[in-house]
Chain A
Amino acid sequence: MHVRHLSVVDFRSYPTAELALGPGVTTLVGLNGQGKTNLVEAIGYLATLSSHRVASDQPLVRFGTSSAVIRGTIDRAGREVLVELELNPGRANRAKVNRSSVSRPRDVLGSLRTVLFAPEDLSLVKGEPAGRRAFLDDLLVQRQPRWAGVRSDYDKILKQRNALLKSAAPVLRKGSRRPRSLAPGEAPDEAKASALQTLGVWDSHISEVGSQLLYARLRLLRDLRPHLTASYDAVSASVSGATAHYRASLAEAPTARIAAGDVPEQAELRELLLAAFAEVRDQEIERGVSLVGPHRDDVVLTLGELPAKGYASHGESWSFALGLKLAAYQLLRNDLGEDPVLILDDVFAELDSGRRERLAELVADCEQVLITAAVGADVPEALRTTGRTYAVSLGEVRDVA
Chain B
Amino acid sequence: MSTVTGRRDRRGVGTGAARPDGIPKVTGEFAYSSDLWEAGMLWGATLRSPHPSARIISIDTTAAVAMPGVRAVLTADDVPGRPTYGLEVPDQPVFASDVVRYVGEPIAAVAADHYDIARRAAAAIVVTYDVLDPLLDPEASLTAEPLHPDGNVFRHMVIRHGDPDAVGDPAAGDIVVEGTYEVGMQDQAPLGTESGLAKPTADGGVELRIGTQWLHVDRDQIAASLDLDPDLVQVELAGVGGAFGAREDVSLQIHLCLLAKRTGRPVKMIYGREESFLGHVHRHPARMWFRHTAKADGTLVKVEAKLLFDGGAYCSSSPAVLANATCFAGGPYKIPNAVVEGSAVRTNNPPCGAMRGFGSVQVCFGHEGQMDKLAAALGMDPVELRLKNALAPGDRLITGQRLDGAAPVAALIEAVAASPLPGEVDGPMGLPGGPGRTTQAGDVRRGVALAVGFKNLMFSEGYDDSAAAKIRLFDGVATVSTACAEVGQGFVTLVHQIVHEVLGDDIEVVLNTASTTDVGSAGSTSASRQTWMSGGAVKLAADDIKAQVDLDPDRAEYLADVVHQHTPTTPLDENGQGEPHVSFTFACHRAVVDVDPELGVLRLVDLVTSQEVGKILNPVQLLGQLEGGAAQGAGLALMEEIVLEGGHIKNPSFTDYLIPTSFDLPELRVAAIIEEPEPHLGAPFGAKGVGEAPTISSGAAVIAAIRAATGLELPRVPVRPSDIALSPDRTP
A and B from one complex: no
